[in-house]
Structure 1
């Protein structure tokens, strides 16, 4: 019975991944625009625009004076039939790109994963309506599970 349940869970996981890849780039349109989150030191922001075959994102850190620093560039695009969240600039080597494959989506929740990456191994975006976007990164860092959450409001 346990083998049967494990097989069903495995096949269900493959189906979710397959369904996620069969959708179009438009499934990510809820991310378009500029999103901001206030912090004790200023704010974080993400700006997303649509291109013909991809979504382009930029992430910034803003200090209390309003000065901003580009943290990373992101591209969501299809590579070899699969959607990927490709991040450049987040590593020590600011030119390296790390790819996270879309492994699942459930209506308003999109999960990208790269098990081989040091941290994070998962990047998740949740559509919380037209003015709210919730994201988190998750994984193991130095042997401990860690999760960082980002609750964004759409800039008007």
Structure 2
């Protein structure tokens, strides 16, 4: 019984191992699309250097009259840590989120000082499906289930 518990604990520790570079997040690269009855969204990520991924996010709601909200996104390695930066139209400056957890096909970014969102969780479910959980400090939360576009 003790052997099983120790083996399970060692396995969990290996899975919780932190990412050390953007190489560990390459699964995020490419285009991702989300659509429901009232909203369409897209995120596209590309590697621009050994220490930087750049992304763009766009969303359009049914009642927007064709207007799109655009986010300029960046993942960057700085001082041995990874940060997610988001520049949206309603904020004068980009908002930074520090990567606080990372394991195979999952990364969590947090900024407890920001009201919404304060936590972003990216999880690759399979090569063509990405789940993004967006949460705030007061319990507000939503989940986006992205898919890669058909080739």
TM-score range, shorter chain: 0.7 to 0.9
Q: Residue 57 of structure 2 aligns with which residue? A: 59
Distance 1:119 1:63 in 2: 19
Structure with bigger helix share is 1
Q: What is the TM-score normalised by the length of structure 2?
A: 0.78
Any residues of structure 2 matched to 1:12-91 within 5 Å, and which? Answer: 20=18, 23-52=20-49, 53-62=51-60, 67=66, 69-89=68-88
User: Aligned-pair distance for 1:126?
Assistant: 0.2
User: Aligned-pair distance for 1:129?
Assistant: 1.4
Distance 2:23 2:111 in 1: 23
Q: What is the TM-score normalised by the length of structure 1?
A: 0.76
Q: Considering only aligned residues, what root-mean-square deviation do their CA atoms show, in Å?
A: 2.1
Distance 2:44 2:103 in 1: 23
User: Aligned-pair distance for 1:41?
Assistant: 2.5
Q: Over residues 38-69 of structure 1, what are the superposed CA-to-partner deviations in whole Å (9 max), with x where a residue is unaligned?
A: 12224111111111121111111135699462
Tell me whether 1:147 sits opposite 2:145 in the alignment.
no
Inter-CA distance 96–35: structure 2 relative to 1 (3 Å threshold): same
Kept in 1: contact 2:21–2:82 (CA 8 A): no
Distance 2:31 2:60 in 1: 14
- Runs (4+) of structure 1 moved beyond 6 Å? none
Distance 1:140 1:148 in 2: 13
* Structure 2 unmatched runs, 5+: 1-15
The aligned length equals 133
User: Aligned-pair distance for 1:114?
Assistant: 0.6
Distance 1:112 1:75 in 2: 12
